[in-house]
Structure 1
Amino acid sequence: MEKIKVLEQRLKYTFKNQKLLIEALTHKSFKKPFSNERLEFLGDAVLDLVVGEFLFHKFKNDAEGDLSKLRAALVNEKSFAKIAKSLDLGNFIFMSIAEENNNGRAKPSILSDALEAIIGAIHLESGFLEAKKVALALIEENYPHIDAKNLIRDYKTKLQEVTQAKLGQTPDYETLRAFGPDHQKQFEIVLKLEGIEYARSIASSKKEAQQLAAKIALEKLGIL
């Protein structure tokens, strides 16, 4: 299939067994005897190890806790979906018409799962070193300037440390509303200090909105 060859060119890897790649690209909604769920399970473990080893060697002086935060910042749905989008992976996934009409080709969860499944398939076919080579090339292409400060953006923890030291209290986060269709849900969060609204933000998850609100508050406090 010409379409599959295009994806292989982008991955810089040619599958010996095309059925493995097709399985990696098959969403459970496609109603085949197989789906990419098992390969996704394998790929998730491979990527966890690849990223862990990469960070271990790159950040030689960082403590275990910081390395764990760095890995969590890279090994997650949002990060993998970004890499999948760079490959235009959504256009290669086999899914039902209903899922496609539900914006399935752009869903971060589906994109992330497909990427993990592809890495799992490469590992299964050619071993860990080849899977590592492909995975690291994709990570470095999408995150060319990896450093702890940019990856670890735990603004909530930082704000809590600041407000506890200066005000003797922790911020309150209140969800004002959730709106939009299920596949594009948005959350509006208000951050309060001493009962007074200090920042407000909207994002695609409550956690992300809270982090954004905390970032705004830190900027107002002159910390960032």
Structure 2
Amino acid sequence: MDLTSFKEQLGLVWREEKLLRVALTHPSYAYEHAGVEHNQRLEFLGDAVLSLIVSDYLYRTFPHKSEGELTRLRAALVCESSLARVAEDLGIGEVLLLGRGEEKSGGRTRPSLLADAFESLLGAIYLDQGLETAADFALARLKPLLEDVLEGRMERDYKTELQELLQKGSPERIVYEVLQEEGPDHAKRFLVGVYYRGRCLGQGAGRSKKEAEQHAAREAWRRLAGEEG
């Protein structure tokens, strides 16, 4: 799919098309092309916009669910695996601008990269079209996943489950700390530890910080909950 086809698929008339190009520019490409803006700032914005959109939708749709239940639903809908599925359906990986190393290492199909790119795209839509259009765009693609979430067919969000387990008795903050980072930019590996009350409860590794944090939370949750496997 080329960029023209991708734009047509989105069904939006862009006021500032540069925002779309920035949203589709991975940092690895910008590092190889001086003066090119990458999408990390838009990712930051899109993450916040997405959280608001999904929170508002769940609050209005499920008036009888508790705060904890709504939190779990939101976490499952906006987790890396869900957003990567949406990005893949949109074909975002096909039109991303990637650096040579990221291209060679399979970045176009990497879940963490696709999830981040979807958030960047949503941030661009919000800036260009406003919150209502951004909400319509995001929810049209996330609502089909909601049934899977409600039926428990989506990947578990161990960070949220660990937080709920630990903070039943105390509101103290859970801290995720990068213990080790190795490899070139296009093939990073992160080792993360999860700490509570100064004690390390688990460690996890992954190709992104988010993935490593989930693995660390899973290890900690299984230890604390006594779950096997």
Instruction: Please tell me the TM-score bracket, short chain as reference.
Output: 0.5 to 0.7
Matched, 1:4 2:7: no
Aligned residue in 1 for 2:63:
60
Matched, 1:15 2:14: yes
Please report the TM-score for the alignment, with normalisation by the length of structure 1: 0.66
RMSD: 3.4
Which stretches in structure 2 are left out of the alignment for 5+ residues?
166-185, 190-205
Aligned to 1:70, which of 49, 52, 73? 73
Query: Contact (CA 8 Å) 1:8, 1:15: kept in 2 or not?
Result: no
Separation in structure 2 between the aligned mates of residue 123 and residue 60 of structure 1, nearest angstrom: 27
- 1:153–1:90 CA distance, 2 compared to 1 (3 A): closer
Correspondence list, 1:60-209, <5 A: 60-141=63-144, 143=145, 145=147, 148-150=150-152, 153=156, 206=215
State the 1:99 CA deviation: 0.9
What are the superposed Cα offsets for residues 137-192 of structure 1, whole Å, 9 maximum, x if unpaired? 11124x1625534258579x7xxx9xxxxxxxxxxxxxxxxxxxx9699xxxxxxx
- Aligned to 1:145, the other structure's residue is in SS state helix
Please report the TM-score for the alignment, with normalisation by the length of structure 2: 0.65
Query: Contact (CA 8 Å) 1:13, 1:134: kept in 2 or not?
Result: no
Q: Report how many residues are paired.
A: 178
State the 1:14 CA deviation: 3.0
Computing the radius of gyration over CA atoms, which structure comes out larger, 1 or 2? 1
Query: Contact (CA 8 Å) 2:46, 2:119: kept in 1 or not?
Result: yes
Query: Contact (CA 8 Å) 1:29, 1:96: kept in 2 or not?
Result: yes
State the 1:67 CA deviation: 0.5
Separation in structure 1 between the aligned mates of residue 155 and residue 112 of structure 2, nearest angstrom: 22
Which amino acid letter does the alignment assign opposite residue 150 of structure 2?
A
Which stretches in structure 1 are left out of the alignment for 5+ residues?
162-181, 186-202, 219-224
Aligned residue in 2 for 1:24:
23
Aligned to 2:46, which of 43, 46, 58? 43
Percent sequence identity over matched residues?
35
